[in-house]
Amino acid sequence: AQRVTQPEKLLSVFKGAPVELKCNYSYSGSPELFWYVQYSRQRLQLLLRHISRESIKGFTADLNKGETSFHLKKPFAQEEDSAMYYCALMAYGNKLVFGAGTILRVKS
Amino acid sequence: EPEVTQTPSHQVTQMGQEVILRCVPISNHLYFYWYRQILGQKVEFLVSFYNNEISEKSEIFDDQFSVERPDGSNFTLKIRSTKLEDSAMYFCASSETANYGYTFGSGTRLTVV
């Protein structure tokens, strides 16, 4: 079965604090994982793909196959990072399976 | 930056009516998708479309749903006879290649009354 789990509905941190948004997956094949971000009243935007190993807006995510995790991290949160974050798995048939999403609130 | 465009942004329809949701994917993209998100729930896959045919569809995508690429630019989702439970945000997406990661449109909020 293919599943993405984001255990936290809401993560609230102070500006400048480190951020870790958790994502665990279940997939029998070789996983391709993504993080999408949705700012208030805007569209879903691709933030990161694990295969490109990039850092966007200071965010990074490392695929850990042993723990079946793809946590999103940022060392110093900024207020403009406040948004809904979705972890997603590319499953067979080129379809994305989404987690439930985590709201990140960065407080000043 | 190229965008996926969806119209209308909000549609209200009566139960049993047909609706057509419209999308203009990014021009050089070859793969097209529809997803939906019922309020408070996950974003769910509906259908993928490539080379003028459906390549994958979910169990949600029953006979009431259909997709079409009527010309070189538009990609439409039709719901033949809407039900209350079809009320959701519908997202169109496109990608240049498979497994690359999509570009999503801003969504159409469908309200069935």
**Beta strand pairing status for B108-112 and B10-13?**
parallel
Query: What was the pLDDT predicted at A54?
Result: 78
A51 neighbors A33 (Cβ within 8 angstroms): no
Neighbour-count burial of B22, counting CB atoms closer than 10 A to its CB (0-12 exposed, 13-18 middle, 19+ buried):
middle
Residues found in chain A: 108
Q: How far is A48 from chain B (nearest CA, A)?
A: 9
Q: Is the pLDDT of residue A8 over 70?
A: yes
Confidence of residue A30 (pLDDT cuts 50, 70, 90): confident
pLDDT in tens, B33-74: 999 999 988 999 999 999 889 999 999 999 999 999 988 789
B59 Cβ contact partners less than 8 Å away, ≥ 6 residues apart? none
Show residues of chain B in contact with A90, CB under 8 Å.
Answer: 99, 101
Bridge partners, residue B44, by sequence: B36
Show residues of chain B in contact with A49, CB under 8 Å.
Answer: 100-101
Q: Is A81 helix (H, G, I), strand (E, B) or coil?
A: helix
Average pLDDT over residues B89-98: 92
Q: Is the pLDDT of residue A100 over 80?
A: yes
Contact criterion met (CB < 8 Å) for B42 and A34: no
B105 neighbors B3 (Cβ within 8 angstroms): yes
